[in-house]
Every structure is written in structure tokens, then in C-alpha cells.
Structure 1
Amino acid sequence: MPMIGAALMAATVHLGYQGIRSWLPYVVLLPLMAFVLFWAGRAKVKVDDDELWVGDAHLPLEFVGEVEVLDANAKRRALGRDLDPAAFVLHRGWIPTALRVHLTDPDDPTPYWIFSTRSPEKVASLLRQHAQTQPGT
């Protein structure tokens, strides 16, 4: 949809000018909008030694509880009727799978995180592996 808006803006300028100036908005606006869309959707999901990173948000692994892999249908339900308003959500519509990570921190009002990821099984296994290596679990 944003690309269509950029094309319509370029077409509007195109109608008002002749020659090279009529094509300049296409050359500027369409690549600029493509870059903005790429930049907006580049949130990384990373598990390092002691934290889960989702975009700029981070969660210490000691507070990771149950981890659920969500397919497309489960993701739709989890982000719709089953969504807790206090949950942390990073939804990217073009990625069909997601992960729901329940938090065990009693001081955190966020019950769980839901975030889109292309490899939910891999991230879930890393989180579960860390939970198994913790003493007392």
C-alpha cells in the first residue's frame, strides 16, 4: 500500500511537468519508499548468552517461562481474540509464524511476548536449551 501511495504521488508530479522533471519523482520516491519499508521491517530476533533480543527490546533469559511455537492459524488467534492487552507484541504480517514466550518475572506486568520469526523452532529450542541448563529447573 505505501508503494502505491508513492507511485500516485510521483504520478501527480508527473502530470504537472514536462521532460526529465516529470520522471524524477519516480526515481526518488519509489526507491525511497522501498528503503523505508525495508528499514521498518528489519527487527532482529536474537538469543545471546543471557538475553532474548526482539528488535530493541530485551528480556533476561532467567525470566523466560513456557515457549510456544505458533503457526499461521495459532498466530491469528493469539493476536486476535486471545491477545492479552498487556502483552509485548512485535508483529510482522509477512512472516506467517511466531513465538509466544511466557514471562516468569513476578514484578513484570507483561504476561508474555509474541513476536514474528521465520525460524520459530530454532529460537524455541535455544530458549528451552537455556532453561534446561539453569540450576533448579
Structure 2
Amino acid sequence: MQPLVQNYDERLTAPRSWWAVAVLIALGCGVMLLPLGALPLLGGLIGGGALSAVAVSAYGSARVRVVAGLLVAGDAKIPVAALGEPEALDETAALEWRMHRADPRAFMLLRSYVRTAVRIPVVDPQDPTPYVYLSTREPERLVSAVNEARAAHHGSESGA
């Protein structure tokens, strides 16, 4: 019997302060058009608010998932069979891997407002990507989900 694979799903939503900035941008657009009258003021509020809200929402819509033998990070779908042992990174280690230890060939789904991350080596010899770096608010849970998916994959290979 195969072990039950834990599904993992996290959305890297933007912090509340970014939404406050979106409101300030809307107000700024409205005030900028105030000399032209009430209707342009309203248009500036609505248009500026809508555009800034779309920008914040789009940037904060990145998702990290482990499902059906795949690690899905943003638009990337990586088979767990191509991944090595994941490593949870605390704030200090995550900052190091985002900065001076970073490899330009790595796949990185990072959000600066998420302080912790997971780094997973890519073990597929055909893939030039050395590792996957993923921002996550729950690094231990993501490590566990990837390990369970890898174990289930290896179990299904040996059982076949």
C-alpha cells in the first residue's frame, strides 16, 4: 500500500501594507485630477485604485503546491523525481540564498516580504538548474510535503 501523499497549497499573498499603498495611489490619482472637476476626480480614484489593486493582487497570487507527484511553483511544474532532499531556510539562510549565495541558473520563486524559504536541489542530470528556491511561510510543512511526495514516487517505482 502506498503512503498517503500530503498535499500542500500556499498562496504567497502580498502584505496588508501593500494594499494600503494601493489605496494611497488611488487617492493620489484622484487628487491629481481634482482641478479638472468632480468626474475626473472620481475617474482617477476608480482607475488608479483598480490598476494598483490589480498589480498588488497579481504579484501576490503566486502559489506553491505539491500535488500528484509534482511541485508546482508559479507557472513551473517540476516532477518530484527530479528533486533532491529539500532544505528549510530560516530568515538568515533565506536572505543569504537570495543574495550572495544565489546561482543565476536557479529557479527562484521569491517574494521579499516572505522571510523564510525552502531550497531543493535538482538532481535530474539533463536539467542545468542547480536548485529550486521557493519563498514560503511554512518551510517545514513544505519540506515534509515534498519528502512525502518523493517517498510515494520512489515507492511506486519499486512497487511497479
- TM-superposed CA distance for 1:40, in Å, is 2.1
Cross-structure match for 1:88:
107
**Are 2:33 and 1:13 equivalent residues in the alignment?**
yes
Higher relative contact order (CA 8 A, sep 6+): 2
* Distance across 2 between alignment mates of 1:47 and 1:112: 16
Q: For residue 10 of structure 1, report the CA deviation from its aligned partner.
A: 3.4
1:108 and 1:7 mapped to 2: Cα distance?
48
Paired residue secondary structure (1:65): coil
Distance across 2 between alignment mates of 1:14 and 1:114: 46
Residues 1:122 and 2:141 are matched in the alignment: yes
- In the TM superposition, residue 38 of structure 1 has moved relative to its aligned partner by 0.8
Count residues in correspondence: 136
- Asked if 1:102 corresponds to 2:132, the answer is no
CA distance in 1, matches of 2:143, 2:70: 13
The answer for the alignment partner of 1:43 in structure 2 is 62
Matched with 2:96 is: 77
Query: Within 2, Cα distance between the matches of 1:8 and 1:109?
Result: 46
TM (norm. structure 1) is 0.86
TM-score, normalization: structure 2?
Answer: 0.75
After superposition, what is the alpha-carbon deviation per residue over 1:13-34, rounded to whole angstroms, capped at 9, x for unaligned? Answer: 223x123332331133113311
Where do 5+ consecutive residues of structure 2 fail to align?
1-17
Structure 1: runs of 5 or more not aligned: none
Q: RMSD of the alignment, in Å? A: 2.2
